[in-house]
């Protein structure tokens, strides 16, 4: 896909906690509440807030205060269509990186399994 | 392998340029010179030096000034056996992360291809 997949990796999504956040949201069609996401990713309020802010600024995720949970408005966090598109692209690049790295330690990827993901897939 | 592969990813190796450096070294049995590594990873002297220092402190790589290249000693950089072991472990975790993330966007990994890497493999 690219000559140097390593340098093509989206640094916005590459951080392990952000990968966990985006993966959890990608699997939740109706989004997740702040507390559900916090639990899924084993993060503190402060850490999760910091990552969500960075991802929201790039329109990867969206936060909606739309329903009531007890007496407090419930914040629902969703992956945006643009975020999903960029995540699929990131995963395709990560797959290239993994294949190249695995080959470097003498473990070439099995034929036919790479690439599994294409940016236009979803 | 782990309950939460995302948080198990070695942050020391996860940075894209470090991944490129370690992959290049993993593929070079006799090591690489500073300039060869710089070219392979498209890095500046300063950036490469910074990453090498961090990786050397953790005994992932070793630097040897052992041969002459023109009038200057040539620095040969190698991946240590411990570094290779940790890299294989990192890649196995990365593969888990990729499989989980791919499943979250609706692209489960093909059966039989995960895991491809095991820590004890090399």
Segment A12-22, tens digit of pLDDT: 999 999 999 99
Give the nearest partner residue to A117 out of B27, B107, B117, using CB atoms. B107
pLDDT of B28 reads 95
Do the chains contact at B4 and A14, CB–CB below 8 Å? Answer: no
Token code pair at residue B23 = 């992959």
DSSP per position, A61-122: EEEEEEEEETTEEEEEEEE-HHHHHHHHHHHHHHHHHHHHHHHHTT-PPPTT-S----TT--
DSSP per position, B85-99: HHHHHHHHHHHHHHH
Do the chains contact at B107 and A95, CB–CB below 8 Å? Answer: no
CA distance A9 to chain B (A): 7
pLDDT of A122 reads 44
B contacts of A41 (beta carbons < 8 Å): 6
Chain A to chain B Cβ contacts (< 8 Å): 117
Mean pLDDT for chain B overall: 86
Q: What is the pLDDT of residues B37-96, one digit of tens each?
A: 999 999 999 999 999 999 999 999 999 987 666 777 888 999 999 999 999 999 999 999
CA distance B46 to chain A (A): 17
Token code pair at residue B15 = 């940075």
pLDDT at B106 over 60: yes
Residues A24-41, mean pLDDT to the nearest whole number: 95
HSE, CB side, 13 Å, CA atoms: give it for residue A77: 26
Note the residue count of chain A.
Answer: 122
pLDDT of A106 reads 87
pLDDT of B67 reads 63
Do the chains contact at A23 and B98, CB–CB below 8 Å? Answer: no
CA distance B23 to chain A (A): 5
pLDDT at A119 over 70: no
pLDDT-derived band at A80, boundaries 50, 70, 90? very high
Q: Which residue blocks in chain B are alpha helix, DSSP H?
A: 5-8, 11-14, 16-26, 34-41, 45-57, 81-104
pLDDT at A101 over 70: yes
Token code pair at residue B91 = 């890649």
Residues A34-39, mean pLDDT to the nearest whole number: 95
Provide the percentage of residues in chain B whose pLDDT is more than 90: 68
pLDDT at A75 over 80: yes
Mean pLDDT for chain A overall: 86
pLDDT at A120 over 80: no
Secondary element (H or E) of residue B66? strand B61-69
pLDDT of B111 reads 39
Do the chains contact at B16 and A6, CB–CB below 8 Å? Answer: yes
Angle between helices A16-26 and A45-57 (to 10 degrees): 70
pLDDT-derived band at B113, boundaries 50, 70, 90? very low
Whole-angstrom distance, CA of residue A28 vs CA of residue A22:
10
Interface of B with A in 63-92 (CB under 8 A): 84, 87-88, 91
**B28: which residues sit within 8 A by CB, 6+ positions away?**
B78
Residues B31-41, mean pLDDT to the nearest whole number: 95
pLDDT at B14 over 70: yes
Do the chains contact at B105 and A97, CB–CB below 8 Å? Answer: no
Of the listed ranges A37-46, A57-66, B2-11, B92-101, the one predicted with least confidence: B2-11
Do the chains contact at B23 and A113, CB–CB below 8 Å? Answer: no
Do the chains contact at B91 and A105, CB–CB below 8 Å? Answer: yes
With H, G, I as helix, E, B as strand and everything else as coil, classify residue B58. Answer: coil
Q: Is A44 on the interface with B (CB under 8 A)?
A: no
Whole-angstrom distance, CA of residue B5 vs CA of residue B81:
24
Residues A117-122, mean pLDDT to the nearest whole number: 49
């Amino acid at each position: 896909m690219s000559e140097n997949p390593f340098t093509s990796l989206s640094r916005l999504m590459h951080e392990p906690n952000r990968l966990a956040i985006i993966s959890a949201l990608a699997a939740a069609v109706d989004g997740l509440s702040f507390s559900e996401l916090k639990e899924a990713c084993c993060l503190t309020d402060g850490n999760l807030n910091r990552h969500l802010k960075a991802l929201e600024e790039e329109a990867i995720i969206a936060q909606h205060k739309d329903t009531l949970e007890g007496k407090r408005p419930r914040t629902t966090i969703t992956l945006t269509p643009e975020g999903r598109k960029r995540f699929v692209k990131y995963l395709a690049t990560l797959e290239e990186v993994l294949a190249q790295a695995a080959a470097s330690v003498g473990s070439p990827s099995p034929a036919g399994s790479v690439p599994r993901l294409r940016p236009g897939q979803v």
